[in-house]
Structure 1
Amino acid sequence: MKPHVFRGTAAKLLLAVLSLVLLAGCANVPLESQPMVVPGERQGQSVGDVVPEPPPNIDPLSLVRAFVEATLKPGQNNAAARAYLDEQSRANWRPSRSLTIIQDTFGTVYDTAPPPDPGTQVVNVRGIDIGTLDQNSAFVPDYTSALLQVKVRKQANNQWRIVDPPADLYATQSDFSENYTPVPVSFYSESSATFVPDRRYVVAKPQSGLPGRVMDLLLSGPSASLAGAVKNLLGEPVEIDSNVKSLDDGTLVVPLTGLSGVPDDIRHLMAAQIVLSLQYVTSARIRILADGAPLVPNHPDWRRNDLPAYDAALSINVDLQGLMTVGGRIRSLSDGNPVAGPAGNGGYDVVSAAQSIDGKRLAVVERSGGAVRLRIGDLGHDLALTTLGGSSLTRPTWRPGTGEVWTVVDGLSVGRMVLDPNGHWTALTVNATDLTQQGAITELRFSRDGARVAAVIKGELWVASVVVNGDSVSLREPRLLQPHDLEDVVDVDWVAQDGLVAVTKSPSQPVVRVTVDGQRIDAFNSSNLTPTVHGVTAAPNRPIVVADTSGLWTASELGEVWRPHSHTMKDADPFYPG
C-alpha cells in the first residue's frame, strides 16, 4: 500500500481554523534559519507508514529545511518529502535518480530578489555540495556551494507548501550514510587478470533486497570512473531471468539468462564476479543458474572460499619486508642493511626507488649533476641507464601484471618504460592530458590491481583510471578527492584496492585514509609523529609505514598510536614492492 499523504475534508477545515488562530499571533516569518547540524534520522517508518502533514503554520524556511531532511526517510515514491509539496506538485514531481549530498550544516535563507507577491517566497538552501550519487549509484566528489532555489506558496488554507520541487534529490551527509551502504562491486581487469572493486552505494533497507540491488549494478556495468579500465563479464545479452531470492534453507538464488555459447572459463570468471560482489551483502551460499541449470556445470553453489586467489600474483611475498632510501642509498626495512650492488653501496646517488612486486628488480631515480635520470635492472646488480631523465622524476611505480615502470618527467609527462624482447628498456608515452592539465604531478602510484593511479597535484589528491586500447594507454576520468579537508598532500600509497593513505603537511591530521571515490576521509592518530610527515608506504595486510622528521613509524589501525620502526633512520623514505 502506498503511504497516505492527503487528509479528509474535516481535517482540512479544522487545520484552516487552527491556522487562522495561530496566524493572529504571528505577525512575521523569520528572515533566515540558523545553520545547524542535522543529525541522521533514526528510521522508524516502514514503507506502509502514513506520512504526516507538515506542522501547522510552518514558515517557508523551516518548510524547505524539513523537506531536505525528509528526502531519505523510508516510504514509497519519496512520500515523506512529497508531503511538503502542494497538491499539484505531489502528483507531478518526478525527481531524477541522482542524489546531491550536502554537508550536515546548512541554512535556508530568503532570496534577495523581492517576492512576486505576498503569498510567494523563494528560499535558497545555503550549504556545501560534497558530491553526487549518479545514475549508476556511484559517488562523484564535488565541493562547491549548494545552489538550490525552492519556491513556496501560501495555499488556500494559509499553509506554506513547495510549488517547484527540485529535479534532483538533496540529502545531508549523515542521512546518506545512514540510509545507504557502500558495496565494492567487482569487475574484471584483463591487464592484471584480477577483479577490481567499483565502490557503489545501495539503499540499505530492506536488507533482504540488497543482493538484488547489487546484481542490478553488476549487470549495468562499471561506473564512469572505471569505464574502459575494466570489463563487465555480465554485460548484454546477460540478464536476470527472475528475481534474486532466498530459499527456505537460506541459499541465495541468482537466476541468469542469455549465456548461450559462453565458454566454461568465462563462466568461472562470471561466478567469481558475482560471488565477490555479493559477499558484502550476504553470507549465504550462492546458487548461480543459467537458464535454470548451474552456470558452471557440476558447481551450482558458491562461497567466497570456493574462488581461486585471483590477486595472488599481485600480492607481496611475505618475505619481502620493503626497502627505504636513506642518504642516497637503498637499505632493507627488515634489518636496516644496505642492499647489494651500487644502489646500496653508494655507486648511485639515489633520490627515490621502487621494487618490483616479485622483489627481483629495482627502478632507481639517480641524481646526476643538476638533473635526474632513471635506472632499471635486477636487484643487487648494475642497473641499466634508460633514456628517461629531466629536472625531476617522481618515485617510480611498477604497473601490476605488466612489468612496466612509470614515472613522471618534470611534472607533466608520464613516462612508461617497457622491457622489449631483446632485454632493453624502451620509453613509451602515456596519454595523461586529462590528469596533467590539472597541474604538475609530484607523486604517482599504481593501485595494486593496476586499474587506477593515485596522483598528488599541487598538494591535492587525485585518482584516475588506466584505460588500455591496443598498444596505447591513457589516464582517464580524473577525480579530485576531499578538496576541502585534504590539503598540502606530500605523498600517497594504496592501503587497499579501494582505499588510500595520504600524508600531509598538516600537524593536526598528518596521516589520513581516504576511500577511492573520496566519499569518506578518516584521520589516523597523530600521537608520536613530528611534523612534517614526508613519506608513506602501504599495502594490503601490511603495517603502514610513515616517515617524519625524526624517522620511521608504523601503525595498522586508525586509532592506533604510531610505534617507532625497528630499523628507523632519520631522513628515510620507505617503500613496499610495487
Structure 2
Amino acid sequence: MGADRVGGGRRRKPVRTVAYAVCGAVLLAGCASMPDSGDLRDVESTPRQDTQVRVFALPPRENAGAREIVDGFLEALTSDDPQFETAKKYLTGDAAKAWKPEASLTVLEEGPGATPEGVNGRDTQSESSFRLYGDKIATVDGQQTYAPAAGTYDKPLHLIREKKSHQWRIDAPPPGVVMGKSDFLRNYTSVNKYYFASNTPSATGGQPVAVADPVYVRKKVDPMTQTVRLLLAGPSRWLDPVVRSSFPTGTKLKLRKGVTSLTPDEQNRLTVPLNARANRVGAGRCQEMAAQLLFTLRDLTPAGVDDVALQGSDGTQLCTATASDAENAVVHGVGKNEYQYFLDGKHRLVRLPSESSNPDVTPVPGALGEGAKELRSAAVSRDERMAAGVTLDGSELYVGSLVSGASLGDPVLHSDGKTQKDRLTTPSWDGDGNLWVADRDPDRPRLLFLKDGAGEPIEVSTPGLDGRIDAVRLAADGVRIALIVEKDGKKSLSIGRVERDDKTDEGAVSVVELRSVTPQLEEVTAMSWAGDSRLVLVGRERGGVQQMAYVQVDGSTPVGSPPAALTGVKALAASEEEQLPLVAYSEEDGIVRLSSGSKWQQVVKDGTAPVYPG
C-alpha cells in the first residue's frame, strides 16, 4: 500500500517505491520477513475494509541513495508500525532518539513532495538536503486533537552519510509526522472521549452531563489501548476549562507484565487495571469512571464493549458497570425527542411525532400553537415543556408554556433593528432550560442569555468574535455553542466554549475561544447539532453550489455519506439522537424529512422553520 505522496517537482515517482509487509493480525507472529532486494512494484493506496490487516514498511535497502532514503522514510510514516520503529531506521542513531513522532501530525492535501537542495541540486559525498512541501489542511497535536490548518508546508530535511556504515541516513527529520489526506483517513479514526460538564445543570437533578471530546487514534495500532490512555490523560486543552474527569489526576493504566494491550473477553467485558491513584475512589465516583470508559469505547469495535471492570493497582476489583448502568448514572445527549416542530402556513408552532411513518401534524398546546402571535422562527426546550418564538417581523421574542390554555404574556426581548434581517435570530435552549438568542441590530449586535427563559436578558461576552452572529445553536451538554458568523459577505460556522461565572450576582456568561470549523466554505446558511460532536450544515465553497454536509466540532469530516441532495434548503434540524430523521425546509418542497437509508419525503408543502428540541 503505497503512500499518497508527491515526489520532487510535479508528482514525480520516487526512484524506488518502498514495499510493505502485509500480515493479518492473527498471523503476525508467524509472518516471514520480506526480502530487501529484487523487483518491487507499486501497491494501490486504497482504503482497506478489513481492520485486522496491518501494513508495515520495509527498512532501508543496503547502499540506498539519499532520495531513496527520503522516499522510504515518508512511506514508513504511513505504515502501521506501532512505535514508528521502521521509520526510525531511516534516521541516524541520535536523530532517532530525539525525534518525537507522537508530538504532532501535519495533514496535507496530497502527500509531501521532496525537492533536493544544495549545489545545483546535487548531493555531495557526505551530506544532502531536501525540502518537503505541500498544502496544509490540518494538524493533530500531541493530545491527538485535530484542527483545520491552511497555508504551505515547507520543512527542511537533512541527510548525512554515516562514517562507519557509509549508509545515507537522515540526521535532521521534520518535526512530528507528515502525510497526505488519503493516508491520514486510511490510518486514523475519530473517537469521542467523554468527560463531564463542570457545572452540572440543575435540570438534570444533579446527574453528571457527558461531554464529547473527539481525538484521532491510529486505526490498526491497538486503538482501544490508545483511546483509554488518552481518556486517562485528560480532556483537550480547549475543552478542559469547562469539563472534569472522574479519574483522579495521575491515573494511568497498569498492565500486567507481558501484557501490552486491552482486549475485551468473549462476553465483551473489558477489564481495565489502574495504578494506585485510583485505589481509594468511592463507589459513586468509580461508576462515573466506568461510564466515561463505556461511552468512549462503545463505537470503537464492531461488537462494542458491554461492560467494564476497573481494577486497583493490587488487582482488586474497584467496581463494574454495564452500558445500561452508565446510561442510568449519567445524562448523555437529550433523551428521547417525542416530536419534531415547525411553523405551519398560518405561522403557528406545530408538531409531529418524531418516529411516525404517517405524520399527524397538530398545533402545539398553548398560545404559540393557537396563533396568538405570527412567528417566523421558534425553539422548544429540551424537556418539551416550553417554547420560544420570534415574531414575523423579527422584532420580538415570546416565551410560552406548551400546556393547553396557557397564555403568552409580554415579550421577553425586543430588537430595534431597522430591517427584518437586522433583528432577532432563531432562539436556542440549552440543557439547563436557559434561552439564547442573538440580536443582529447593526447599532448594537449582541448575544443574549435568558436564565430559565425569563427575566432580564444577560448580554454574553464574546471576546474574539469577528463578525455578526447570524444563527445560534447550543449543544445538549450546555458547554459548547455553534454560531454562524457573518463578515464581509461571508458566513462561516464557529464553535465556542461556554463559560459561566456563578459567583457573580448577575451570573456572567461568556463564549470564548471561538474557532472556525468550516474554513473551506464561503457561505454557511443553516446548521444544527446532529450528534455528540457532529453538526449538519448547508453551505457552499467558493464558486461551488449549495450542498448539505456533516462536520465534526474539531473541523474534520466524519466518515460516512453526506445527506442526500436537496435543492433550495433554507433551514434544517437534526436531533443529537442520530437515529432520528433530518428535517428541512425547502423552497420547492416545504417541510421534508430524511430517515436513514431512505429518500427525502415531503411532510407538508406549506411550512417553514423546522426544529428539534434545543
Offset at 1:98? 1.4
Residues in 1 aligned to 2:459 and 2:19: alpha-carbon distance in whole angstroms? 51
Q: Residues 59 and 87 of structure 2 are in contact (CA less than 8 Å); yes or no, is this contact kept in structure 1?
A: no
Change (3 A) 1:160 1:457: farther
Is this contact kept in 2: 1:105–1:127, CA < 8 A?
Answer: yes
Name the structure 2 match of 1:413.
446
The offset of 1:79, in angstroms, is 3.0
Matches for 1:244-263 after TM superposition, within 5 Å: 245=262, 251-256=269-274, 257-259=276-278, 262-263=281-282
How many residue pairs align between the two structures? 527
1:91 & 1:318 partners in 2: Cα distance? 54
Which residue of structure 1 aligns with residue 481 of structure 2?
453
Correspondence for 1:71? 77
**Equivalences for 1:81-160 in 2 at 5 Å?**
81-85=87-91, 89-90=95-96, 92-95=98-101, 97-110=103-116, 122-152=129-159
Aligned partners of 1:125, 1:503: CA distance in 2, in Å? 36
2:326 corresponds to which residue? 307
**In the alignment, residue 218 of structure 2 is paired with which amino acid?**
V
Q: Once the 2 structures are TM-superposed, how far is the Cα of residue 92 of structure 1 from its aligned partner?
A: 4.9
8 Å Cα contact 2:350-2:364 kept in structure 1: yes
Give the Cα–Cα distance (whole angstroms) in 2 for the partners of residues 575 and 352 of structure 1.
9
CA distance in 2, matches of 1:33, 1:74: 28
Quote the residue 1:549 is aligned against: 587
Which residue does the alignment assign to 2:458? 428
CA contact (8 A) 1:139 1:201 kept: yes
Q: Distance in 1 between matches of 2:299 and 2:335?
A: 24
2:329 pairs with 1:332:
no
Q: Once the two structures are superposed, what CA deviation does each residue of 1:63-106 show, in whole Å capped at 9, x if it has no partner?
A: 54543232132336423323444566456544452111222355
Q: Which amino acid aligns with 1:499?
A: R
**RMSD over aligned Cα atoms:** 3.7
How many Å separate the matches in 1 of 2:554 and 2:513? 11
The amino acid of 1:430's aligned partner reads V
- CA separation in 2, counterparts of 1:562 and 1:236? 48
The residue that corresponds to 2:498 in the other structure is 466
Corresponding letter in the other structure for 2:175: A
Q: Given the alignment of the two structures, is residue 172 of structure 1 paired with residue 193 of structure 2, yes or no?
A: no
- TM-superposed deviation, 1:327: 6.1
Distance 2:64 2:107 in 1: 28
Instruction: Give the partner amino acid of 1:408.
Output: A
- The alpha-carbon deviation at position 496 of structure 1 amounts to 0.8
In structure 2, distance between residues paired with 1:283 and 1:96: 27
Aligned residue for 2:40? none
Aligned to 2:401: 378
State the Cα deviation string for residues 535-564 of structure 1 (Å, max 9, x = none). Answer: 11000131001222212222234xx56323
Once residues 216 and 196 of structure 1 are traced to their aligned partners in structure 2, the CA distance between those partners, rounded to angstroms, is 18
SS at the partner of 1:468?
strand
For 1:343, the equivalent position in structure 2 comes to 368
Q: 2:262 touches 2:272 (CA, 8 Å); kept in 1?
A: yes
Q: Is the 8 A contact 1:546 1:554 kept in 2?
A: yes
Cα pair distance change 1:85/1:249, threshold 3 Å:
closer
Relative distance call for 1:563 and 1:275 in structure 2 (3 A) is closer
Aligned to 1:294: 317
Select 2:248's aligned residue among 219, 235, 254: 235
Aligned equivalents of 1:91 and 1:340: distance in 2? 69
Q: Does 1:519 align with 2:562?
A: no
Q: Of 297, 302, 321, which aligns to 1:278?
A: 297
Q: What's the secondary structure of 1:100's corresponding residue?
A: strand
Gaps of 5+ in 2: 1-6, 35-57, 202-207, 353-358, 418-422
Residue equivalent to 1:265: 284
Structure 1's 86 and 254: CA in aligned 2 closer, same or farther, altered over 3 A? closer
- After TM superposition, the structure 1 = structure 2 runs for residues 7-86 of structure 1, keeping only pairs within 5 Å, are 32-34=9-11, 44=22, 51-54=58-61, 58=65, 60=67, 64-75=70-81, 77-85=83-91
Q: Distance in 2 between matches of 1:567 and 1:242?
A: 58
The code of the aligned residue for 1:460 comes to S
Given residue 80 of structure 1, which amino acid in structure 2 is its aligned partner? T
Percent identity between the aligned chains?
24
- Cα pair 1:121 1:152 within 8 Å, conserved: yes
CA contact (8 A) 1:399 1:405 kept: yes
The structure-2 alpha-carbon separation of the partners of 1:363 and 1:318, relative to structure 1 and needing over 3 Å to count, comes to closer
Return the match for 1:359 from 379, 384, 388. 384
Q: Structure 2-normalised TM-score?
A: 0.75
Q: Is the 2:76–2:86 Cα contact (8 Å) retained in structure 1?
A: yes
Partner of 2:572: 536
- Distance in 1 between the 2:62 and 2:416 partners? 68
Shift of 1:405: 0.2
Cα 1:112–1:513, aligned 2, differ >3 Å: closer, same or farther? farther
Gaps of 5+ in 1: 1-29
Distance 1:313 1:155, change over 3 A: closer
Aligned to 1:194: 209
Q: Which amino acid aligns with 1:533?
A: V
Which of these residues, 424, 428, 438, is aligned with residue 393 of structure 1?
Answer: 424
Aligned partners of 2:66 and 2:128 also within 8 Å:
no
Which of 338, 362, 367 is the equivalent residue of 1:319?
338
CA distance in 1, matches of 2:424, 2:552: 27
Q: Distance in 2 between matches of 1:126 and 1:325?
A: 55
Decide whether the 8 Å contact of 2:111 with 2:179 is kept in 1.
Answer: no
Larger displacement relative to structure 2 (535-544 or 152-161): 152-161
Aligned-residue offset at 1:221: 0.8
Q: Which moved more, 1:244-253 or 1:343-352?
A: 244-253
Using the TM superposition, give the Cα deviation of residue 40 of structure 1 relative to its aligned residue in structure 2, in angstroms: 13
SS in 2 for 1:433: coil
Matched, 1:568 2:605: yes
> Structure 1 residue 212 and structure 2 residue 234: aligned?
no
TM-score in terms of structure 1 length: 0.79
TM-aligned CA distance change 1:116 to 1:195, over 3 Å? same
Give the secondary-structure state (helix, strand or coil) at the position aligned to 1:490: strand
